[in-house]
Amino acid sequence: MTTIAGASAVKARERVALGAVSRRKSDRRRRRSDGDDDRENQVLPDVVKVDDALKTVTTMGVSREQVLASCASTSLAMLGVGYGMRLGARAIPVEALGGDFSSALPLVSDDVKTMIIGAIGAATVVTIGRIALLQVWEEFAASTDRSNAQVLGVLDGPLDIAQVAALPALGEEMLFRGAVLPLIGGVPGVVVSSVVFGALHIGGGRSAAFGVWASAVGACYGATALYTGSVAAPAAAHALANIASAVYWNATRADKVVASASELEEK
């Protein structure tokens, strides 16, 4: 096996539409047996919308090179903007623009122990929360599956996983927690940076439900930044949580989609 996802993740991306069709047919048979035709007519359009969205992902044909290039360019751009804002605030500390806000939240704190505890704690909270929501929040689970099938299904090996996990973590944390948060300051900075962070996570197969989740995650990372007095801690937490998310999805969600499709084929 040459990828962490293995063949199952790649096949999941190709078969996820088939699984949606299976669920739609099952729903229609059940409703006909219950004599609830009116309800079927109300639910079917929503099922079709989900089916179409999943088909869009499976037919996009995004290559590994495109995923890695997009990840690198976007992450480095955010890293540059965030760090540039910090340098600008230090060089020209205009009070109307927040003064030298970079000094309020250093990149690295002198208290290494607190940074380690904060990073591990935040990554654990985010990972447990994500796994729990995948079990109970259908829209969030579907959004996660669409996005991950598009990205993780084409990656090749642990180095690819590390890149798409670490680079966005560095870029996003430098911009949102390293610049936007201290520019506004305190709890208001956490709120604003988190809301913007969540809004920018909508799209590419991810729905508003995923945006809500991303905002909550952003608030967790913002709290970690304030608690540890550093940007490094939330960046480390972000990278660890991304890796855990990829490993969990590859090990569980992709296999379930393939199993569902296989059962349909056998019938």
Who wins on pLDDT, 9 or 262? 262
Judge whether residue 40 has pLDDT over 50: no
pLDDT given for residue 154 in this prediction: 86
Judge whether residue 157 has pLDDT over 50: yes
Lowest mean pLDDT among 32-36, 136-140, 201-205, 209-213: 32-36
Judge whether residue 20 has pLDDT over 70: no
pLDDT given for residue 248 in this prediction: 95
In a domain, 121, yes or no: yes
Judge whether residue 259 has pLDDT over 60: no
The pLDDT-based confidence of 67 (bands split at 50, 70, 90) is very high
Share above pLDDT 90 across residues of the chain, in percent, rounded to a whole number = 58
pLDDT given for residue 34 in this prediction: 55
Handedness of CA 163, 79, 210, 146 (dihedral sign): negative
Q: What is the pTM of this model?
A: 0.76
In a domain, 126, yes or no: yes
Structure tokens at 234: 């939330």
Boundaries of domain holding 206: 6-266
3-state secondary structure of 99: coil
In a domain, 212, yes or no: yes
CA 5 to chain centre: 17
For 193-214, the pLDDT digits (tens) are: 999 999 999 987 789 999 999 9
In a domain, 1, yes or no: no
pLDDT given for residue 45 in this prediction: 40
Judge whether residue 12 has pLDDT over 70: no
Judge whether residue 2 has pLDDT over 70: no
pLDDT given for residue 149 in this prediction: 82
The candidate with the shortest Cα–Cα distance to 147, out of 199, 203, 205, 198, is 205
In a domain, 248, yes or no: yes
Mean pLDDT on 19-38: 53
In a domain, 203, yes or no: yes
Average model confidence (pLDDT) across the chain: 81
Who wins on pLDDT, 32 or 10? 32
Judge whether residue 137 has pLDDT over 60: yes
In a domain, 61, yes or no: yes
pLDDT given for residue 148 in this prediction: 87
Mean pLDDT on 14-28: 49
- CB-based contact 4:250 (threshold 8 Å): yes
In a domain, 129, yes or no: yes
**Inter-CA distances, 180 with 60, 77, 172, 231, 237, Å:** 34, 15, 10, 12, 18
pLDDT given for residue 91 in this prediction: 87
Burial class (CB in 10 A: 0-12, 13-18, 19+), 257: buried
pLDDT given for residue 260 in this prediction: 54
The pLDDT-based confidence of 150 (bands split at 50, 70, 90) is confident
Domain count of the chain?
1
- CB-based contact 257:20 (threshold 8 Å): no
pLDDT given for residue 261 in this prediction: 45
For 178-197, the pLDDT digits (tens) are: 999 999 999 999 999 999 99
